[in-house]
Amino acid sequence: MRARGERSEGKTMRVAINGVIIEDKKILLVKKKNHWILPGGKPKSAEESDYDCLDREVLEETGLELLSTVWYNRFEGRTPNTGDVLEARVYFATIIGTPTPKAEITDIA
């Protein structure tokens, strides 16, 4: 596995930490720049853990606090706009509260 920021075949490796949050048999999605995605985002630094990143991003995007977080899987692919390599680390998470769009999020479903 490559380190964050390391180049892969001439492209930059990017890391995203995302949460699968299931409430009432529905997966929570956030709308950002006309795309529906799982809540989450990029670590602020190499020292920020995946768990801390996911806690911060979910709170920033939805106002939700995470009650628990469990590792699910890792996926890798190319971003459509730049062709950079994206490593998505995905966790199952349970929440406290009711989601509200915050920051760059325009809607929640």
pLDDT single digits (tens) 81-100: 788 999 999 999 999 999 99
Q: What domains are defined for the chain?
A: 7-108 (3.90.79.10)
Strands (E) located in the chain: 7-8, 11-23, 26-27, 30-32, 35-37, 40-41, 65-78, 85-96, 107-108
Angle in degrees, CA 26, 90, 59, rounded to 5: 70
Q: Residue 55: which region, alpha, beta or left (left: phi > 0; alpha: psi -120 to 50)?
A: alpha
**How much is the pTM?**
0.84
Q: Residue 63: which region, alpha, beta or left (left: phi > 0; alpha: psi -120 to 50)?
A: left
Could you report the per-residue pLDDT of 20-30, keeping only the tens digit for each?
Answer: 999 989 999 99
